[in-house]
A = this chain, B = another copy of it.
Amino acid sequence: MGSLDLNYDDESFSSRRQFKPLDPEEFRKQAHQMVDFIVDYYQKIESYPVLSQVQPGYLRTRIPQTAPYSPESLETIFTDIASDIIPGMTHWLSPNFFAFFPATVSTAAFLGEMLSTCFNSVGFNWLASPAATELEMVVMDWLANMLKLPKSFMFSGTGGGVIQSTTSESVLVTLIAARDRALDKIGAENMKKLVVYGSDQTHSMFVKASKLAGIHPSNIRSIPTNLHNEFSLCPAVLRNVVEADVAEGLVPLYLCATVGTTSTTAIDPVQPLAEVANDHGMWIHVDAAYAGSACICPEFRHYLNGVERVDSLSLSPHKWLLSYLDCCCLWVKRPGILVKALSTNPEYLRNKPSDSDAVVDFKDWQVGTGRKFKSLRLWMVLRSCGIANLQNHIRSDIRMAKMFERLVKLDPRFEIVTPRRFALVCFRLNPFPSSNAERTELMNRKLLEWINSSGQIYVSHTIVGGVYMLRFAIGATLTEERHVVAAWTLIRNGAEELLKGLVI
């Protein structure tokens, strides 16, 4: 506290705080300690069970019921993190994590996040942090360039991009933009006529976002897919469904096409789907959360063919571009429609640059008002790694997945269920092809439980087209070939024990 003694108050200043929440030298000391703690965690990470083995409610019994009245030392807290927190973690960064889609990381992104936290800027509008807004614009254009998106999605063209937290938020805000544009034409009282379209493989967030936006639940279409089409949304089927809705007097609003579905990385064909959507004046969004990152490699870019015909595209670098959570990049072709739906203009935020329309105010591109300096992480990744290394990284993961796929194929007791396209292999144990479906499913459920309860690796599952399968997703940043080989050995051992009747 300062020392200027003004005769200004009747309250005693004798209790003047000595509490300094941010003393720079104390910060230096403790942050260095935390860096070493983290490095220690990363070095030991393989020694922890990948999937936490604790029971529900484990923590409440270990922690006091109320916050402490007086400060506790960092040493005490470190001890508790080691004894109470780490055993309850499912270690997403373990090289033996093969579940869901891994969340990828890098030193560069960690540094970027430290810096973003450090500044703690609240960049709701340009003036509140010009660098935060402008760097985000630059980085979104950089990544758009890497993906060879048309200029119509770039700030240097006629569009633009913004970093959202999640795909859910990207879909929600574009859906609302589309909704409000439609209601302007047909009247707000016709909201119940609006229909949205996805496939039965579209991420569950789509149905949720549609409900949030007030789409009538009976107007959310989940169009069936099948193994014959490799679980991709068929444009002809979409057209039939849309035309039937139009014939009923309904209004087609929004199509969410997926490049790389969550269950099996199926691909909805963007170009022909966009034709259907364009014919009916629908907004079309491409959810490329996982597989979009692969499109920075020329050999995968064709999956985005037709993107010039869509309205928006989202992709999550936290999934495959080493950026840590959370980072979902959303590009839109006509930002004006988004801003019209999401803008606010309270007096206390008004300022000359915003009033002059010379700047972007990202609060009008998202749900919330406040926002961190979100682009620093991705900027640091792109600069520290460079495009070449990021391409290598994607290709390396895919090579390891091909290796795993080949190992599976070499074992006649196993089968690949859906085609591998990226770094996810969907397979199952099927030693008795004449066995009934339920028995095969049960066997695979048991195998998965055996694998995951070992703590040595973590694998997840899905059911698609009625078939229960294991999902082996390669991509955790620390994963090397040896981990993949060891994982396969473990899976085979599990299968052997199961087939010997040793697993109940």
Contact = CB atoms under 8 A, between A and B. Distances in A.
A370 B168 CA distance: 9
A16 B396 contact: yes
- Determine the interface band of chain A, counting residues with CB < 8 A from chain B: 35 or more
Interface string A98-142: 001001111110110111011111100011111110110110011
Contacts of A145: 65-67
A423 interface: no
B60 A138 contact: yes
Given A54-B131, A57-B358, A166-B370, 4 more contacts: A16-B396, A58-B130, A63-B138, A208-B344
A168 B9 contact: no
Contacts of A69: 386-388
A389 B89 contact: no
B67 A92 contact: no
Number of copies: 2
A367 B369 contact: no
Contact of A35 (B32, B368, B369, B372): B32
B118 A100 contact: no
A348 B17 contact: no
A273 B322 CA distance: 49
Interface string A205-229: 1011101111011000000000000
21 contacts: A1-B481, A11-B399, A15-B392, A21-B393, A27-B107, A31-B39, A42-B118, A52-B131, A56-B126, A63-B135, A65-B141, A67-B383, A70-B386, A74-B384, A81-B115, A120-B324, A120-B325, A169-B368, A205-B344, A212-B212, A325-B371
B21 A385 contact: yes
A504 interface: no
Contacts of A403: 6, 8-9
A262 B1 CA distance: 27
A126 to B, nearest CB: 7
A380 B77 contact: yes
Contacts of A117: 110, 113-114, 324
Contact of A367 (B110, B169, B358): B169
Interface stretch (A249-257, A429-437, A459-467, A492-500): A459-467
Interface stretch (A184-192, A304-312, A330-338): A184-192
